[in-house]
Structure 1
Amino acid sequence: MASPPLVIKSVVGGGFEDKSWTSAISDLQIQLRGVQGVRTDPFGLTVTFFVPGEVYGPKFSGIRISTFLEEFRSLVVQVALPKHPESDARSEVLGLLDEAVRKAEKWGNRKKYLSGRLEEARGVADSLQARH
């Protein structure tokens, strides 16, 4: 079974985290179920959002490339969220998702996996943006 072009995951710090982050991420995960197709891009993208909480907070800030899972042909990109959104959590998560896709495309081009864009991952991310 082929993996989807885009997967969204989260690591939640526990205790008292900002529920607007977890709610926005959960809503996007639910929406993803209805827009995924079969992947034909050279690799898929897994974006993991780190939601800081009382028990755990990410030891980095911003967006970083994590690892390439050869078995699944999927690149993991990690996004460290701030403690609280500046405005609308969903809009901020969608903006960061877009940045994560761009970062993955740059990585793919540098590693010679891509010669352009991650068309399907980009299409899925764009469809989430359009539903906003």
Structure 2
Amino acid sequence: MASASSPPLVVKSVVGGGLEDKSWSSAISDLQIQLRGVRAVESDPFGLTVTFFVPGEVYAPKFSGLRIGSYLEDYRTLVVQVALPEHPDRDAKAELLALLGKAVERAEAWGRRKKLLSGPLAGSRGAIANLA
């Protein structure tokens, strides 16, 4: 089980460089700062790392939407990758929060399929609730 002292949700990014939309990068940085102090109240069977791919001049992801990246057994962490569009439709942070919710849903479905999870990822859901 993921330790109660480890963060239930980690946000990372891969930024395409050059002339990427800085509103994405700024909103991701804000979320990362907010998540630094968040610790799980309940212990989830595995942690969740959401990696946002910000398209830019140098690099753009070759997929769209959300996908399961990999499960890091040593860290008991599932990586969900999210390819962002070039520009946010509205408020970048609001869009990232919505995508984090979808990433948790995808992780929960994966966890049920792998028989690692019987209920919700309460720690990750709680962390997202603290971000809003």
TM-score (norm 2): 0.93
Which structure 2 segments of 5+ residues have no match?
Answer: none
Q: Which residue of 2 aligns with 1:65?
A: 68
Is 1:75 aligned with 2:78?
Answer: yes
Q: 1:25 aligns to what SS in structure 2?
A: helix
Match of 1:117 among 96, 113, 120: 120
Superposed displacement of residue 39, structure 1: 6.4
Superposed CA deviations along residues 32-79 of structure 1, whole A, max 9, x for unmatched, are 012223762110000000000000000000000010000000000000
Give the distance between the partners of 1:87 and 1:9, measured in 2 at CA: 21
Q: Establish whether residue 24 from structure 1 lines up as the match of residue 36 from structure 2.
A: no
Letter in 1 for 2:47: G
* Structure 1 residues without counterparts, runs of 5 or longer: none
Larger displacement relative to structure 2 (106-115 or 34-43): 34-43
State how many pairs are aligned. 129
Change beyond 3 A, Cα 1:58–1:39: farther
- The code of the aligned residue for 2:121 comes to L
- Between the aligned partners of 1:93 and 1:85, the Cα distance in structure 2 is 9
Q: Is the 8 A contact 1:8 1:46 kept in 2?
A: yes
Identity of aligned residues (%): 69
Aligned to 1:53: 56
Report if aligned partners of 2:42, 2:122 keep a CA contact under 8 Å in 1. no
1: CA distance, partners of 2:60 / 2:51: 14
Give yes or no for contact 2:7–2:38 (8 Å, CA) kept in 1: no
Matches within 5 A, 1:101-112: 101-112=104-115
| C-alpha distance in 1 between matches for 2:50 and 2:42 | 16
Which of structure 1's runs of 4+ aligned residues deviate more than 4 A?
none
1:16 and 1:66 mapped to 2: Cα distance?
Answer: 26
